Structure 1
Amino acid sequence: MNSAIRRLAVAAIVLMLALMANSTYLQAFRSDELNGRNDNRRVRDSQFSVDRGAILLGNTPIAKSDPVDDRFKYQRSYANGPVYAPVTGYYSYVYGRAGIELNMNSELNGSDPSLAFRRIIDVISNRPQKGASVTLTLNPKAQQAAYNGLKGKIGAVVALDPKTGKVLALATRPSYDPNELASHDLGKVRDAWDKLNKDENKPATNRAVRETYPPGSTFKLVTSAAALSSGKYTPETPVHSPAELPLPETTTPLVNENGRNCGGSDNATLTVALRDSCNTAFGTIGLDLGPDVLRDQAAKFGFGERHLPELSGVASQFPGDPNKPQTAQSAIGQFDVRATPLQMAMVAAGIANKGEVMKPYLVQNVKGSDLKTVSETKPESLHQAITPEVAQQLTQMMVTVVNDGTGKPARISGVQVAGKTGTAQTSPERPPFAWFTAFAPADNPQVAVAVMIEKANVERNDIAGGKLAAPIAKSVMEAVLSQ
Structure 2
Amino acid sequence: MNKSLRFGAVVSLLLIVTLLVNYSIVQGMREDEYAQDPHNSRILMELKRTNRGDIVAGDTVLAQSHRDEADGFYQRTYPNMPWSFAPVVGYASDQFGTSQLESTHNGDLTGDSGTSSRFLRTGTEDGKKGDTVALTLDPNLQAFAFDQLAKPGYEGAVVAVRPSSGEVLAMASAPSYDPNGIANPNTAEGAWADVNGNPAKPLLNHATQEQLPPGSIFKIITTAAGLRNGFTPESPLTGEAQTILPGTDNIPLTNYGGQPCAGGGQVPLRTAFALSCNTAFVQMGLAAGPEALRDAAARFGIGQSYDLGLPNAAGSLGDLPGGAELAQSAIGQRDVTMTALQAAVMAATIANKGKRMEPHVVRAVRDADGKVVRETEPVELGEAVTEEEAATITDLMYGSERWTFGYDGNGFASKTGTAEHAEGAAPHVWYVAFDPAKDVAVAVVVKNGGHLGEAATGGQVSGPIGRAVLRAAPAPVEGAQ
CA gap of 1:352–1:192, structure 2 versus 1, over 3 A, is same
Q: 1:419 aligns with which of 407, 414, 426?
A: 414
Corresponding letter in the other structure for 1:190: E
Distance (Å, rounded) in 2 between the aligned partners of 1:253 and 1:12: 71
Distance 2:328 2:232 in 1: 22
Could you list the per-position Cα deviations for residues 171-208 of structure 1 after superposition, in whole angstroms to 9, with x for gaps in the alignment? 111101111111122xx212211111111111111111
Change (3 A) 1:20 1:265: closer
Question: In the alignment, which residue of structure 2 is the partner of 1:73?
Answer: 73
8 A Cα contact 1:45 1:72, kept in partner: no
User: CA–CA distance in 2 between the matches of 1:36 and 1:134?
Assistant: 16
Match for residue 166 of structure 1?
Answer: 167
Verify the 8 A CA contact 2:344 2:443 in the aligned structure 1.
yes
In structure 2, what is the equivalent of residue 305 of structure 1?
Answer: 304
Q: Which string of whole-angstrom CA distances, capped at 9 and with x for unpartnered residues, describes residues 353-391 of structure 1?
A: 111111101110010112110111111111211111111
Shift of 1:24: 4.7
**Is 1:98 aligned to residue 128 of structure 2?**
no
CA separation of 1:348 and 1:407: change in aligned 2, threshold 3 A? farther
Does 1:54 find its partner at 2:76? no
User: Paired residue for 1:436?
Assistant: 431
Q: Distance in 2 between matches of 1:126 and 1:280?
A: 65
Q: 1:126 to 1:473 in 2, by over 3 A?
A: closer
Distance in 1 (alpha carbons) for counterparts of 2:219 and 2:125: 61
SS of 1:310's equivalent in the other structure is coil
Q: State the partner residue of 2:147.
A: 148
Residue number in structure 1 paired with 2:396: 397
Partner residue, 1:324: 323
Name structure 1 gaps, 5 residues minimum. none
CA contact (8 A) 2:428 2:447 kept: yes
Tell me what 1:112 maps to: 113
Name the SS for the 1:150 alignment partner: helix
2: distance between equivalents of 1:189 and 1:446? 41
* AA at the equivalent of 1:420: K
1:471 to 456, 464, 473: 464
Structure 1 pair 293/386, CA: closer, same or farther in 2 (3 Å)? same
Within a 5 Å distance, the mapping from 1:6-405 to structure 2 comes to: 10=9, 23-24=23-24, 26-71=26-71, 73-78=73-78, 79-113=80-114, 128-151=127-150, 152-185=153-186, 188-230=187-229, 232-250=230-248, 251-403=250-402, 405=403
State percent identity of aligned pairs.
38
Which residue number corresponds to residue 440 of structure 2?
Answer: 447
Q: Distance in 1 between matches of 2:424 and 2:72?
A: 48
- Change beyond 3 A, Cα 1:116–1:234: same
Offset, 1:38: 3.5
Q: State the alpha-carbon separation in 1 of the partners of residues 36 and 432 from structure 2.
A: 38
Secondary structure of the equivalent of 1:258? helix
What one-letter code is carried by the residue in structure 2 that aligns with 1:246? I
Following superposition, the deviation at residue 415 of structure 1 comes to: 2.2
Q: 2-side partners of 1:400 and 1:20: how far apart?
A: 67
- Distance in 1, matches of 2:72 and 2:466, equals 42
Moved more, 368-377 or 4-13: 4-13
| Residues 437-470 of structure 1 deviation map (CA, whole Å, 9 limit, x = unaligned) | 00014xx351100000113553444310001000
Which secondary structure does the structure 2 equivalent of 1:431 belong to? coil
Structure 2: gaps (5+ residues): 477-481
Partners in 2 of 1:288 and 1:480 — Cα distance? 39
CA distance in 2, matches of 1:33, 1:240: 55
The CA deviation at 1:277 is: 0.7
Q: Is the 8 A contact 1:277 1:406 kept in 2?
A: no
Identify if the C-alpha distance between structure 1 residues 6 and 423 changes in structure 2 by more than 3 Å, giving closer, same or farther.
closer
Paired letter, 2:318: P
TM-score (norm 2): 0.90
Does the 8 A contact of 2:350 with 2:394 survive in 1?
Answer: yes
Give, in whole Å, the separation in 2 of the partners of 1:5 and 1:247.
Answer: 75
CA distance in 1, matches of 2:188, 2:202: 16
Give, in angstroms, the shift of residue 407 of structure 1.
4.6
Question: CA 1:427/1:17 → structure 2, altered by over 3 Å: closer, same or farther?
Answer: closer
Deviation at 1:73, TM superposition (A): 2.0
TM-score w.r.t. the length of structure 1 is 0.90
1:287 partner letter:
L
Determine the C-alpha separation between the residues in 1 that align with 2:401 and 2:392: 15
State the distance in 1 between where 2:374 and 2:418 align: 41
Distance 1:12 1:440, change over 3 A: closer
Determine the C-alpha separation between the residues in 2 that align with 1:353 and 1:21: 50
CA contact (8 A) 2:363 2:375 kept: yes
Measure how far apart 1:23 and its partner are.
4.6
